[in-house]
Structure formats: structure tokens, C-alpha cells
Amino acid sequence: MSDTLLELEGVETFYGRLQVLFGISFCVRLGEVVTLMGRNGMGKTTTVRSIMGFTRAAAGSIRMTNHELRGMPVFKIARNGIAIVPEGRGIFPNLTVREHLVIAARNHDARPAAWTPARILQLFPSLAERSHHLGYQLSGGEQQMLAIGRALATNPTLIILDEATEGLAPLIREQIWHCLRKLKDGGQSILVIDKNVDALTCLADRHVIIEKGRVVWTGTSQMLKDEQEVQRRYLGV
């Protein structure tokens, strides 16, 4: 049996008449952390939007455990086991931390080690201390932790993080990376976008680099560390 969880093949996406993705193909396997990398405006977020159905792909295939997602409504894609931590976090300003977690809680597969609100607050002790605070009262880092916790509350098979640590203080970034390492160690499949190459190569199993809507390089963390010319050409580091 294949261990492929998410697979994109030949995905093309447009905004009106403007084509943004040109045949994107890659996969995420069970228990694997994969990154989407590239400079701003190269198609990373559009790839995520295409997976989630926010922007419908015009061509190609997007499969989750061999179920075709392209053309499905967003809520059905989520029910197939994908949760997203969006760029900008999407926190509701007038809901408390606990309310965010409670309304998202779902365990359709009856997993014995499910992510409950209580377990999520154990993962993020700073959120536990502010569990009755409203969304607008949280710092940017706390909001990002809450966005991750809200995604976990759905007990997804795959979590997608768009700009995992953008705009966060260095100490908070380290806490987020530590959290993602814990999730990986627990077998969580993750697709992550971020600009911190050093942190990503320490965390991820494989990397997919996108340039102008096309996949231009894929490889392991060790391969990316060794290929400095790839980093210079496509990541600007």
C-alpha cells in the first residue's frame, strides 16, 4: 500500500485570465514534513489555496489518500482530513481562546489519542494561561499558537501552515518550531511555507521549491544544505 497522503499532479490555477500555476506536481507522505519554498509571489500560497479549494485549480489532479479533491467544496476538502493555519491566522477577535478550540473540535475517526482542547492547551502553556482572553487581546505569537491549536482540534491527517513564523519575535519563532518538531515526532504530516531556511532544513524531510508557478527543485534537507547555488538562485540567501 502506498504511503502517499497528498499528491498534486499537473496542477494549473488561474486568477481570471492570469495563469499562476503551471503544472505543479509533488506529494506529501504519511508522517512526513514537506516545505514549499520560493521567493514572494512565486505561487506558494496559490498552491495552498488550490489544495484547499479556496481558488479552484483549472487543470490537474489533487488527491488525498487517492480521493480527488479538485472541484470539491472547501468544507468537504476539510472533512477529508486537511486543516490549514492560514497566513494572517484568521483568529476571531470576539471569541476566547477556549471557544476557538471548542468550536473547532472534531474527532470523526474516534482516535484514542485525539487532540482535545485540554491537550492543546498543554502543548501551548502560554495559551492555557490566557484561555479566557479574547482573540484581539492576544499577541501575534499567541494568535499563531491558537491558529495551530485550532487546526489540531480538528484532528487532521495533514496540517498546512502558510507562513508559519512570519512577523514573529525570535523567541516565539523558536517556540513554534519546537511545537512543529513535537508534532512531527508524533507522526503528524505537515506541509509548511516559511522563509527560515535553517529552521526548515532542521525540521523537514523534503523541500519543494517553486519559481514562477513551476516546481524547479525538490530534494532532502541534506541536499538543500549542500546545494548553496540552489539557495542563492531560488531563495535569495
CB pairs under 8 A, 24+ apart, for 90-93?
90/147, 91/135, 91/138, 91/143, 91/146, 91/147, 92/135, 93/134, 93/135, 93/136
CA 105 to chain centre: 18
The partner residues of 53 in beta bridges, in order of sequence, read: none
Whole-number pLDDT of residue 111: 64
For residue 70, tell me if it sits in a domain: yes
For residue 173, tell me if it sits in a domain: no
For residue 126, tell me if it sits in a domain: no
Question: What is the per-residue DSSP string for 134-147?
Answer: BGGGS-HHHHHHHH
Are residues 93 and 57 in contact, defined by beta-carbon separation less than 8 angstroms?
no
Say how many domains are in the chain. Answer: 1
DSSP summary character for residue 39: S
The partner residues of 22 in beta bridges, in order of sequence, read: 12
Instruction: Tell me if the pTM is above 0.95.
Output: no
The model's pLDDT over 134-172, given as tens digits with 9 standing for 90+, comes to: 999 999 999 999 999 999 999 999 999 999 998 899 999
The partner residues of 11 in beta bridges, in order of sequence, read: 24
For residue 205, tell me if it sits in a domain: yes
DSSP summary character for residue 96: B
Locate all alpha helices (DSSP H) within the chain, ordered by sequence. 44-52, 74-79, 97-104, 117-123, 125-129, 140-153, 170-185, 197-203, 221-226, 228-230
CA 180 to chain centre: 11
The model's pLDDT over 42-100, given as tens digits with 9 standing for 90+, comes to: 999 999 999 999 999 999 999 999 899 999 999 999 999 999 999 888 999 999 999 99
Domain of 225, CATH number, reads 3.40.50.300
For residue 179, tell me if it sits in a domain: no
For residue 63, tell me if it sits in a domain: yes
For residue 155, tell me if it sits in a domain: no
Residue 20 has pLDDT above 50, yes or no: yes
Are residues 152 and 96 in contact, defined by beta-carbon separation less than 8 angstroms?
no
Supply the range of the domain harboring residue 198.
1-81+194-237
The partner residues of 96 in beta bridges, in order of sequence, read: 134
Spatial distance between the Cα atoms of 171 and 213, rounded to a whole number of angstroms: 33
Whole-number pLDDT of residue 229: 93
**Residues 166-184: what's their mean pLDDT?**
93
Whole-number pLDDT of residue 106: 84
For residue 73, tell me if it sits in a domain: yes
pLDDT band at 107 (very low <50, low <70, confident <90, very high): confident
